[in-house]
Amino acid sequence: MHLSNTSKYTIRILANMVNHKDTTLISAKELSDNLKIPYKFLTKIMTELVRVGFIESIRGREGGYKFLRPASEITVGDILELFNDSIKDEECILGIDSCNAKQKCALHDKWIKSKIQLQKMFKESTIESIAAEGNKI
Amino acid sequence: MHLSNTSKYTIRILANMVNHKDTTLISAKELSDNLKIPYKFLTKIMTELVRVGFIESIRGREGGYKFLRPASEITVGDILELFNDSIKDEECILGIDSCNAKQKCALHDKWIKSKIQLQKMFKESTIESIAAEGNKI
DNA sequence: TTTAATTACTACCCTAAGGTAGAATTAAAT
DNA sequence: ATTTAATTCTACCTTAGGGTAGTAATTAAA
Ligand code: SF4
Ligand code: SF4
């Protein structure tokens, strides 16, 4: 009942990029130092974020990363989806083969309530809001 | 954001044992057939459940399993704890190193709300209630 | 006493996640 | 041109979860 390391790292990475206003670009080294994320693992994530178009990379000396899609338009839900980490509608609590509205398991109603709440939180939390003033990252 | 297969299986196994009133004992073969859980994997789980004292096993021909602790006193939370699958209080959504009441991440308040709700559900759901009349298992 | 049905034990195998190592590529600075 | 700082690519390692195979131990029935 938790997010993968990759998802958690990504949320913090992107939020840190929002807060980095000094120059336009930020390097993998800086991010790794800021967030205490293993450098080699971070670069692997970065390459994936470039591939899917969340961010852009500039190679070579003085290179680094910057947003391609604005941070206000990237949600936590988007990130979870990218890393196959989101709560799927059909993926339910006891994973019973044939379950539907008529035949429920005992946990169904309560689980659905929490599930919707979490899905809403993920969908409504943008990277910009994560990075907002005063929040720990 | 989901339970492990082992936890899901265990919940369904124990609930199925409650519903099995024919004789006192139920065998691994029956449980495996009833629930479509791989036989060998199921027996591995059963041995663990015996070890921790939820159930008792009778070996040899006509053997099988029965409850040691009553089903009304085993909760879903107990099972999740056994398989290291529960939502720990200190294990929070973004897993940031140093977080406390003063310095929160943006998701904190909403996450805490869902977390408490889920923990409550797990703690209050007994195997007996899971197995209650009309519930899918 | 043998046989069949059962649990328990030991030892694997496979996959995905997390992580690491090293070299190749790029491009600015010197 | 050379050096240096950066990203990217390829290939691997380790661990935990999920699952399988074979066999030993146990016990009631035949
Ligand atoms: S009854 Fe509901 S909670 Fe239970 S397995 Fe089906 S969909 Fe999931
Ligand atoms: S601020 Fe709250 S939700 Fe965020 S990491 Fe800390 S305890 Fe978890």
What is the helix (H) or strand (E) element at residue B119, kind and residue range?
helix B108-124
Strands B64-67 and B55-58: antiparallel
A137/B contact by beta carbon, under 8 A = yes
Q: What's the pLDDT at B101? A: 67
Residue % of chain B over a pLDDT of 70: 97
Residue B23 is encoded by which pair of tokens?
């004789």
Helix axes A39-51, A5-19, angle to 10 degrees: 80
Q: What's the pLDDT at B91? A: 72
Please enumerate in sequence order all residues whose Cβ is within 8 A of that of A19, keeping only pairs 6 or more positions apart, or say none.
Answer: A131, A137
What is the overall mean pLDDT for chain A?
A: 93
Q: What's the pLDDT at B1? A: 59
Residue of the CA atom closest to atom 4 of ligand 2: B105
A84/B contact by beta carbon, under 8 A = no
Q: What's the pLDDT at B136? A: 83
Q: Which amino acid is at B34?
A: N
CA–C1' gap, A42 and D6, in angstroms = 14
| Shortest Cα–Cα distance, B30 to chain A (Å) | 18
Does any strand D atom come closer than 7 Å to the Cβ of A28? yes
| Residue-range domain boundaries for chain B | 5-131
Q: What's the pLDDT at A91? A: 72
Topology of the domain comprising B5-131: Arc Repressor Mutant, subunit A (1.10.10)
pLDDT at residue A97 tops 90: no
User: Mean pLDDT, to the nearest integer, of B97-108?
Assistant: 81
pTM over 0.75: yes
